């Protein structure tokens, strides 16, 4: 075996590029694709601790972890220590490599109640939470943070130290404050400050759009790995270090079909196709998808017709769709 890039608790991690957790995006089919293309870890979408405790059937359906996705980090959010600890214990039963605590979500309905990025305002609660999690779980506990609540409270170094001291095994840092949302540029200098502040692996996140950005961000921050969100939605091959224009149409076609197939298998034919539409639009966007063609493609409810349209749009690459 080649030497791991870094370790998360007992787990060797092979690779320095990671697909970011994204609600409505990093579902099992896209996570599987991400791993296939080179994401070193599969993060789930965030899941509310209350749902884990009160809707077990729904949660276990979402958390059927597959062999090819592993290592999987299941991300959860919530605002009470007791609830998060109880939810993490339940999550541990499905066999993830780690439980990740979301400390970055800026949504006022979440952050405003003290969950997600709201946790950044309460370092003492963070310490209590992670100490309790460490004691309650046998697997590593990790965190995904932002730089702080807003410009007046950029406490990323403090939070990172608290996390490390309280037992977090890895810290992913999105280089924006809660107030910034997704606007402005990610502050890579601030991510480097977190790397300097702690000795656990730090994952640098924010604004990786081109293949060259991966090495730039690694160099700039000396982080253990980079995490890619929106860039990988538009171009999943970024996880392999490839820009979109370097991916031939035959490969786009192969991945589009495999991804659709995985969606249909996971969600069933109707929902699988509907949920695939947002990905299809992105796969085909670089080939001049007109509004009319986009509408025709994205309203098709028949899988065969959908594939044929996508194939036509891609300039009829080999092999043609069957049927
Ligand atoms: C549609 C969408 C959903 C997201 N959902 C989550 C989530 O569930 N958990 C999380 O920690 N971050 C979530 N994020 C934030 C990303 O993980 C990432 O931190 C952010 O997009 C910045 O990285 P980027 O510039 O590479 O996109 C989400 C982002 C987007 C765009």
Task: Show pLDDT as tens, one digit a residue, over the chain (323 residues).
Answer: 578 999 999 999 999 999 999 999 999 999 999 999 999 999 999 999 999 999 988 888 888 898 889 999 999 999 999 999 999 999 999 999 999 999 999 999 999 999 999 999 999 999 999 999 999 999 999 999 999 999 999 999 999 999 999 999 999 999 999 999 999 999 999 999 999 999 999 999 999 999 999 999 999 999 999 999 999 999 999 999 999 999 999 999 999 999 999 999 999 999 999 999 999 999 999 998 788 888 888 899 999 999 999 999 999 999 999 75
Instruction: Give Cα 115 distance to the centre of its chain.
Output: 18
What pLDDT was estimated at residue 293? 84
Ligand 1 pocket member 96 (CB < 6 A): no
Instruction: Tell me: do 122 and 194 sit in the same domain.
Output: yes
What pLDDT was estimated at residue 323? 58
Which residues form the domain of 192?
Answer: 6-245
Q: What is the CATH number of the domain that holds 192?
A: 3.20.20.70
| Residue 153 bears catalytic tag | no
The residues near 153 (Cβ < 8 Å, ≥ 6 apart) are 120, 121, 177
Tokens 């997600």, located at residue: 116
Residue 80 domain flag? yes
Instruction: Tell me: do 239 and 269 sit in the same domain.
Output: no
Instruction: Tell me: do 54 and 131 sit in the same domain.
Output: yes
Which parts of the chain fold into alpha helices (H)? 28-37, 49-54, 56-62, 81-92, 108-111, 123-136, 156-165, 188-197, 211-221, 230-234, 249-267, 269-284, 291-299, 303-313
Q: Which of 15, 17, 38, 22 is nearest to 230 (CA)?
A: 22
DSSP notation for 202-269: EEEES---SHHHHHHHHHHH--SEEEESHHHHH-GGGGGT--GGGS-HHHHHHHHHHHHHHHHHHH-H
Among 205, 222, 245, where does a domain finish? 245
What is the number of structural domains in the chain?
Answer: 2
DSSP type of residue 20: P
What pLDDT was estimated at residue 135? 98
What pLDDT was estimated at residue 289? 78
Instruction: Tell me: do 239 and 305 sit in the same domain.
Output: no
Instruction: Tell me: do 194 and 296 sit in the same domain.
Output: no
Residue 318 domain flag? no
Residue 320 domain flag? no
Residue 321 domain flag? no
Ligand 1 pocket member 205 (CB < 6 A): yes
Take atom 6 of ligand 1 and give the residue whose Cα is closest.
22
> Which of helix, strand or coil describes residue 105?
coil
pTM of the prediction?
0.97
Take atom 31 of ligand 1 and give the residue whose Cα is closest.
230
Instruction: Name the token pair of 272.
Output: 């699988």
């Amino acid at each position: 075996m080649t030497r791991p890039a870094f370790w998360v608790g007992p787990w060797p991690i092979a690779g320095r590029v990671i697909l970011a957790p994204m609600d409505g995006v990093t579902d099992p089919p896209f996570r599987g694709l991400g791993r296939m293309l080179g994401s070193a870890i599969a993060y789930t979408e965030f899941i509310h601790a209350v749902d884990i405790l009160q809707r077990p059937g729904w949660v276990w359906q979402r958390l059927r972890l597959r062999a090819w996705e592993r290592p999987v980090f299941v991300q959860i959010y919530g605002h009470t220590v007791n609830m998060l600890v109880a939810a993490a214990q339940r999550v541990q039963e499905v066999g993830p490599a780690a439980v990740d605590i979301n400390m970055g979500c800026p949504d006022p309905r979440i952050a405003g109640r003290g969950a997600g990025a709201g946790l950044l305002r309460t370092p003492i609660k963070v310490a209590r939470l992670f100490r309790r999690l460490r004691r309650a779980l046998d697997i590593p506990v990790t965190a995904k943070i932002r730089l702080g609540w807003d410009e007046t409270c950029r406490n990323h170094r403090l939070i990172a130290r608290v996390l490390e001291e309280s037992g977090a095994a890895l810290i992913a840092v999105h280089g924006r404050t809660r107030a910034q949302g997704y606007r402005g540029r990610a502050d890579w200098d601030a991510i480097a400050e977190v790397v300097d502040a702690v000795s656990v692996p730090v994952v640098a996140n924010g604004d990786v759009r081109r293949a060259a950005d991966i090495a730039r961000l690694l160099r700039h921050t000396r982080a253990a790995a980079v995490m890619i969100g929106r860039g990988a939605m538009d171009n999943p091959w970024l996880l392999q270090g490839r820009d979109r224009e370097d991916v031939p149409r035959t490969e786009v076609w192969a991945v589009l079909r495999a991804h659709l197939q995985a969606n249909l298998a996971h969600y069933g034919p109707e929902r699988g196709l509907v949920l695939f539409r947002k990905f299809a639009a992105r796969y085909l966007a670089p080939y001049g998808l007109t509004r009319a063609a986009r509408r025709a493609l994205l309203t098709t409810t028949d899988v065969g017709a959908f594939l044929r349209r996508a194939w036509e749009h891609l300039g009829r690459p080999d092999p043609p769709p069957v049927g």
